[in-house]
Amino acid sequence: MKRTLLSLAVLAVLAGCSGDDGEQGATGPQGPQGDTGSAGTPGQDASLGVSMGVVGRALLNPEDPEGAAEIVQYHVATQTVFAINSAADVPTVEMIDISGLTADELSNPLSDTNLTSSALLLETEANSITLGSPNSIAVAGDWMAVAVAADAHADNGVVLFYNGLDAGTPAYVKAVTVGNLPDMVTFTPDGSKVLVANEGEPADDYSVDPEGSIAVIDIIDDMPADTATIIDFSAYNGMQATLEAQGMHFPNPSGRTINGNLIDISVAQDLEPEYITATNEVAFVALQENNGLAIVDLTDNSVEVVGLGFKDWSGLMIDGMEDGGVSFGTYENLYGMYQPDTIASYSWNGANFIVTANEGDAREYFFDTLDADGNQDEALCEAAGGQDFDEDDGCLSYTDETQARRLDYAAGSALETAAGDDPRDFDFSAFPIGRLNVTSELGDSDNDGIYENIYAYGARSFTIWDTNGLVVFDSGDDFERITASVHGDEFNNNDDENEGDSRSANKGPEPEALTIGMVGDRTYAFIGLERMGGIFVYDITNPYNTQFVDYVINRDTTEGADLAGDLAPEGMVFIAAENSPTGNALVVVGNEISGTVTLWQVTEN
């Protein structure tokens, strides 16, 4: 390299000379040879990333596993994994002792288990509120916080606080009332605050639509405050058009009458906080259905709402068909709403970056319209202002979800060719993305009934953002292309049945769970696919030079075979090597459908 640079430099000097060439001088004598230099230090191989293998696994509620393992957390001092169990007769937190775990991988991780749990029964009433199911759990020091929704839709939920984790005997201390439907709870890194995302979803018939909010509970003198500070979004009421221009999404039935109620939904009601990641000074909150992010300054509890915009699929591969196989195509005028579920954050060069698993989510609510015999009645549904009727689910009050073929496009446009109209016998070759699930609320820019663009749910990727809301990295079409290479026609599987290509028209692999951690001196993102069940690993040390590292899965995807392995990763947590019983880093995964908690060991290559 030095010779090349030197030659280029000499050429540059010569090229700059404009005078006449002089006569060539005589060649001088060769100089003496220099001393031999000392040997250089041996080089080191560049890191090839990490390897992962299953070293621990617990099966919760074997008779009824679905919902038995969702959100997971880890307590360092006692080396205990905690998992929310919503499938038990009484909602519980499962406590899994992993202190005896070794680095040996399970011989048959699809079925073997080497871990057991004990149950901590949760309170069923607190602060005069009858409680429903727990949604989230967080651990910091000697404290555990559990977010629990109220049983009655209109009531606010609570955070239950338990102390005594260090002694291995968690004891209930108090409940703090927060907002409606607390969906996620977390501590700030220093343990000084507890943050809660209150989703505030509407009732099925929109008779009640609470405001979404964020709760902040201060920890003072190692004791949670008795009351929470509630941060709402009322300051954004009347600003829907402005937020939509920033790339946000507000699907709701405002202006319609449902069950005798005229629906008029404010921005504060429509925003639904889903997930939180935080530093000690700032919290980043995913507004999933709205395709946005709320940024909370924890020094004064002020909040800013930022739209995430849309992913342009042109130039990228996507399978929007469900024709039983791998059928990639590239399409113009097709966009994805990021709509992240799990989010995390980390720093690089002193700057904060947010990492999102771009699941996507539509709104769909059914309510009962029963006749005298207790059967769902279509005529009653129509009289109640229902949007549609289903014999099994009842009366559809609202959804923005439809299939691309059911929208109208300009004659001769690329979308008319790709999405089609609605033929009796659907022809995938003529209309390859006709059955793609899209929103009916976006794409018709002039409201003339003709769609210029279509917007699908989620981005089938993970994204790194800066705090300005700008995309630093997006994994593009990696998830589908890689899983198609690995699984063939069994890719885009569902989480409750082995039927390949059954999710291609509906968010594909559906990335949902996410965690971040350091292995050696590198920072990695681990992204769980809710439908396929696999986990992607990326080196995100430098967000501007992100690299794919690995893809692993602990599931039998054989077409038609009985379900085996881990299904539907819902929550993930990273355990650093210095805090792990095996001496190596671990990724703990709560798998919602299989009811398993799985521990993947992560080692440097």
Query: For residue range 534-569, what is the model confidence (pLDDT) as tens digits?
Result: 999 999 999 999 999 999 999 999 998 999 999 999
CA torsion sign for 64, 65, 67, 73 is positive
Q: What is the DSSP letter of 490?
A: G
The C-alpha angle 404, 407, 412, rounded to 5 degrees, equals: 95
Instruction: From residue 446, give the alpha-carbon distance in Å to each of 187, 443, 449, 450, 452.
Output: 45, 9, 8, 8, 9
CA distance 302 to 321: 44
Percentage of residues in the chain having pLDDT higher than 90? 88
Q: How confident is the model at residue 6 (pLDDT cuts 50, 70, 90)?
A: very low
CA distance 381 to 369: 6
Largest pairwise CA distance in the chain: 115
Q: Where are the beta strands (DSSP E) in 178-281?
A: 182-187, 193-198, 213-220, 223-224, 229-231, 257-258, 261-262, 275-278
Q: In terms of DSSP H, where are the helices of 414-504?
A: 414-419, 478-487
**Which residues have a Cβ under 8 Å from the Cβ of 425 and sit 6 or more positions away?**
none
Q: How confident is the model at residue 45 (pLDDT cuts 50, 70, 90)?
A: very low
Within a 10 A sphere around the Cβ of 545, how many other Cβ atoms? 9
Tokens at 396, concatenated: 């559809």
Mean pLDDT of the chain: 92
Percentage of residues in the chain having pLDDT higher than 70? 92
Could you report the per-residue pLDDT of 317-326, keeping only the tens digit for each? 999 999 999 9
Q: Of 454, 509, 501, whose CA–CA distance to 478 is shortest?
A: 509
Asked whether the predicted pLDDT for residue 190 surpasses 80, the reply is: yes
CA distance 499 to 489: 9
Q: In terms of DSSP H, where are the helices of 316-450?
A: 378-383, 414-419
Q: Do residues 524 and 537 lie in contact, with contact meaning Cβ atoms separated by under 8 Å?
A: yes
Asked whether the predicted pLDDT for residue 26 surpasses 70, the reply is: no
CA distance 179 to 198: 5
Tokens at 270, concatenated: 């429509």
For residue 245, report the phi and psi dihedrals to the nearest 5 degrees.
-65, -20
Could you report the per-residue pLDDT of 47-92, keeping only the tens digit for each? 568 999 999 999 999 999 999 999 999 999 999 999 999 988 888 9
Asked whether the predicted pLDDT for residue 448 surpasses 60, the reply is: yes
pLDDT at 48: 62
CA distance 323 to 194: 47
Across 355-381, average pLDDT: 97
Could you report the per-residue pLDDT of 466-491, keeping only the tens digit for each? 999 999 999 999 999 999 999 999 99
Asked whether the predicted pLDDT for residue 39 surpasses 90, the reply is: no
The C-alpha angle 143, 145, 149, rounded to 5 degrees, equals: 165
Instruction: From residue 214, give the alpha-carbon distance in Å to each of 150, 154, 198, 221, 434.
Output: 16, 17, 6, 23, 39
Token pair 């291995």 is found at 168
Across 508-534, average pLDDT: 97
Tokens at 96, concatenated: 């899994």
Asked whether the predicted pLDDT for residue 37 surpasses 90, the reply is: no
CA distance 236 to 416: 37
Tokens at 348, concatenated: 């690089």
Q: Of 358, 182, 360, 365, whose CA–CA distance to 265 is shortest?
A: 365
Across 275-293, average pLDDT: 98
